[in-house]
Structures are given as structure tokens and as C-alpha cells.
């Protein structure tokens, strides 16, 4: 076990040790004056002898120990495992451990708690990148690390940045990645005002593009006073009138609505740009309302103001706007080689540090009780 402090700056509280020390130096134990007859012939104002004297040294020591214990507790002391200093070879689940030579290294699976590769492989996980970062943070800085990963795997975003230079090996895996389900196109529900009926044709054409041949498009268009069809998930609101209470409740439960540029938006917080034209001018903004999404166009629904309405890729753009595709997660291992960055805190991901504060709390309570007993006991020494 290696002792460590998670918050060493808190040791500045040790300066408080000077407080009881100064009190004991400046304030002598209370004295008791005893008068007797012979004192009348003595000088009432004798010159005192100046010398440093500490009274009740045991009480002083207990008070100092109490302050030291509190300061150490504030610094969050822990005991962390010393760890195995052998080189580490980490294998992703699904890789045959027999094809990776031992070479006297410690082999572990890239799985929660990093079990030994001498045991059966755990189930494959989608958190491979996070586990690599955690393992890098837990190992001592000088421990060599070899990562054996599939040729393609799930990534969680940015490229890996580790605190050490690692050996990166991509090998075939025995696990076949599951095929991702195909995305279903959105079923469009349009609610329009009488003066906006011409704009319905652009969304009817998009719904027809989503449908297979000889398939009825999933499209429902009606005036704004008509209720939404059952199971509706997307709504196109072609009106400058406010949304009805029923529509607002539907959005709060997770619905997605695309508002005309002049429609009042229920979103009160910030909005982000989710669609831009060829010169990066915003075409649509997005905000949250309850569990749903509120999209709003920034231009009138007319080809002169919004040329994208008559472009061939408008159905795809509308689909992406209403139902954004998930970001690509699978990456090629050869394109995901970790880069070297600054090392993070040594204990940021310590798997099982032993917190010493509960024991210090017991010690502090005992010291406080001892200090109170020494300070208030009846037979406390009093200088005569």
C-alpha cells in the first residue's frame, strides 16, 4: 500500500497549530493568591523574572495533535495499491488470448475491473475507449502498456490521448459485429393555415420520396385546428399562430416539431443552428422543450427565400433535420492509434483506494474528548 493525499493543499491548515501554542505561551494557568501576615513587609511590586514557561504540556500536546489530525483529514488521505510493475498487455474481449505471447507480462482483459486474461473472456463491451483511458490512468507511469484491439471497434468520439507511449496492435477478432438496424424514415404530419396550403406540397413530395414503390407515403396534412394522428412523432407547423396546448403537451412527451419562421416558439432557453446553406447562413434553429425538440426555420417557406425546398436533396436534409442519424461509432484501429498527451492525476481512476478519513474521524473524536477532559477536570493543576 502507498499512502497518498488527494488534496495536499489542505495541509496549509497545519498553520493553525500556532494558535494553541501562542495561547499557552501568552496565557498562564490561572493563579490563586494566598494572603498571610508576613507579606505586608515585602515589596508589593517586585520585578518579575522573564522566562518562557509552558504550563500543562500534556493538554498542549493533545490540542496540537487534534489540529494536526483535522488538517490531515482535510487533505483526504488514502492508501492505494502499489500495483504490479510488470509490463501490461490488455486484450479486447473477443480476441483469442492464445495468439498473444505471454513474454512474462501481465495480461488483462479490457473489461470492468480488468480481469486476468488467464480466465475466460468477458462479454464484449462498447466502452473500449473509456476502459483504455482508465487503464492508462491506473498504471504506474513507468509501466509499459500494450493494447491488443480488434481491427474495427466502437469509439466514443475523439482520438485517444494517453499519458504514455503504448504498443498498439490490431488483430482479427472472433466476435462478429452485429448489423445496425436500418433507420425508418419519419412519418410526416403537417398542420397548416389556409394561406400556407401551397407550402404543403414540398413536404408531400418528401414523404413520397421516403416511400418505396407502390407504397402509400406516411403523410398526414390537415388544418391547424385538427388533432394529430395517433403515434405521430414529427410535426410540420405551417402557421404563424401559437401552438395549441395539446401540441405543446405532445412535444413535452418527446415529439419533434418544425415551425414556420414566424410561428411563436415555446423554447425559452438557448438555441443552436442545425441547418445552414451553402454560404453558412443559418436555415434552422433547434431548442429543447420538455423531452422534445423544437426546430424553427429562419426563412419563409418559399423557393425564393429558401431554395433548398426545390433541391433534389431536400428530402434527405429534412430527414436529417427531423431525425439526426447517430454519429459513426465504429472506427478502424489503424486510424485510432493513441497519441501521447499530458498525464492526468495519479489517483484519478484509482480502482480501490482505501479512504483513511473514517479512522481519522475516530481519532479526532478521541482527541477532542481527551482535550475536554484535561481542560475541565477537577484536579487540574492550579499555580499558587
Calpha distance 3→354 (Å, rounded): 9
pTM above 0.95, yes or no: no
Calpha distance 197→293 (Å, rounded): 24
Kindly state the cell numbers that stand for 88.
Answer: 501490461
Instruction: Answer for the pair 286, 293: CB distance below 8 angstroms, yes or no.
Output: yes
Instruction: Answer for the pair 158, 132: CB distance below 8 angstroms, yes or no.
Output: no
45-49, 68-72, 141-145: lowest mean pLDDT where? 45-49
SS3 24: helix
pLDDT above 60 (res 179):
no
Type and span of the H or E element at 286:
strand 282-289
The length of the chain in residues reads 384
Residues 208-233 have a mean pLDDT of: 90
pLDDT above 70 (res 31):
no
Query: Smallest Cα–Cα separation from 271: which of 261, 251, 285?
Result: 285
The average confidence (pLDDT) of the chain is 82
Q: What are phi and psi of 176, to 5 degrees?
A: -90, 120
**E strand residue ranges, 224-271:** 234-238, 256-259
Pairing state of beta strands 282-289 and 292-297?
antiparallel
Instruction: Answer for the pair 383, 34: CB distance below 8 angstroms, yes or no.
Output: no
Chain segment 122-168, per-residue pLDDT in tens: 887 767 888 888 888 878 778 889 998 888 877 766 677 888 888 88
% of the chain exceeding 70 in pLDDT = 81
Pairing state of beta strands 145-150 and 88-91?
parallel
Query: Smallest Cα–Cα separation from 148: which of 116, 113, 100, 114?
Result: 100
Contacts 24+ apart (CB under 8 A), 116-125: 117/89, 117/91, 121/91, 121/93, 121/94, 121/95, 121/97, 122/93, 123/93, 124/92, 124/93, 124/94, 124/175, 125/93
pLDDT of residue 34: 60
Domain boundaries, the chain: 2-36+54-79+353-376, 88-178+330-340, 188-322
Residue 37, classified by CB atoms within 10 Å of its CB into exposed (0-12), middle (13-18) or buried (19+), is exposed
Instruction: Answer for the pair 78, 354: CB distance below 8 angstroms, yes or no.
Output: yes
Label residue 256 by pLDDT band (50, 70, 90): very high
Calpha distance 159→174 (Å, rounded): 25
> Who contacts 124 (Cβ-Cβ below 8 Å, separation ≥6)?
92, 93, 94, 175
Q: Is the dihedral of CA 296, 300, 305, 311 positive or negative?
A: positive
Beta partners for residue 294, in sequence order: 257, 287
DSSP 210: H
pLDDT of residue 35: 61
Amino acid at each position: 500500500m502507498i499512502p497518498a493525499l488527494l488534496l495536499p493543499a489542505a495541509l496549509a491548515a497545519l498553520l493553525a497549530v500556532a494558535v494553541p501554542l501562542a495561547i499557552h505561551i501568552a496565557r498562564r494557568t490561572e493563579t490563586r493568591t494566598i494572603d498571610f501576615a508576613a507579606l505586608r513587609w515585602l515589596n508589593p511590586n517586585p520585578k518579575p523574572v522573564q522566562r518562557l514557561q509552558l504550563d500543562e504540556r500534556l493538554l498542549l500536546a493533545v490540542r496540537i495533535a487534534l489540529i494536526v489530525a483535522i488538517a490531515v483529514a482535510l487533505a483526504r488521505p488514502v492508501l492505494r495499491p502499489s500495483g504490479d510493475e510488470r509490463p501490461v498487455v490488455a486484450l479486447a474481449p473477443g480476441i483469442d488470448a492464445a495468439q498473444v505471447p505471454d513474454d512474462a507480462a501481465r495480461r488483462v482483459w479490457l473489461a470492468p475491473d480488468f480481469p486476468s486474461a488467464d480466465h475466460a473472456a468477458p462479454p464484449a463491451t462498447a466502452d473500449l475507449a473509456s476502459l483504455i483511458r482508465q487503464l492508462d490512468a491506473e498504471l504506474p507511469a513507468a509501466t509499459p502498456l500494450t493494447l491488443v484491439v480488434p481491427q474495427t471497434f466502437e469509439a466514443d468520439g475523439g482520438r485517444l490521448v494517453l499519458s504514455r507511449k503504448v504498443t498498439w496492435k490490431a488483430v482479427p477478432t472472433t466476435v462478429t459485429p452485429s448489423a445496425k438496424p436500418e433507420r425508418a424514415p419519419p412519418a410526416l404530419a403537417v398542420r397548416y393555415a389556409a394561406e400556407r396550403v401551397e407550402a404543403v406540397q414540398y413536404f408531400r413530395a418528401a414523404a413520397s420520396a421516403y416511400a418505396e414503390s407502390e407504397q402509400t407515403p406516411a403523410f398526414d396534412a390537415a388544418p391547424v385546428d385538427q388533432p394529430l394522428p395517433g403515434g405521430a412523432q414529427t410535426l410540420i407547423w405551417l402557421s404563424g399562430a401559437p401552438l395549441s396546448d395539446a401540441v405543446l403537451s405532445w412535444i413535452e412527451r418527446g415529439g419533434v416539431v418544425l415551425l414556420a419562421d414566424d410561428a411563436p416558439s415555446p423554447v425559452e432557453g438557448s438555441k443552436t443552428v442545425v441547418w445552414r446553406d451553402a454560404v453558412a447562413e443559418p436555415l434552422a434553429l433547434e431548442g429543447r422543450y420538455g423531452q422534445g425538440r423544437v426546430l424553427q426555420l429562419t426563412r419563409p417557406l418559399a423557393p425564393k427565400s429558401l431554395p433548398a425546398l426545390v433541391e433534389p436533396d431536400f428530402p434527405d436534409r429534412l430527414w436529417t433535420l427531423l431525425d439526426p442519424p447517430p454519429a459513426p461509432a465504429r472506427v478502424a484501429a489503424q486510424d485510432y492509434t493513441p497519441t501521447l498527451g499530458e498525464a492526468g492525476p495519479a489517483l484519478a481512476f484509482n480502482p480501490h483506494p482505501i479512504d483513511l478519513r473514517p479512522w481519522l474521524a475516530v481519532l479526532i473524536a478521541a482527541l477532542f474528548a481527551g482535550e475536554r477532559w484535561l481542560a475541565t477536570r477537577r484536579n487540574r493543576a492550579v499555580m499558587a
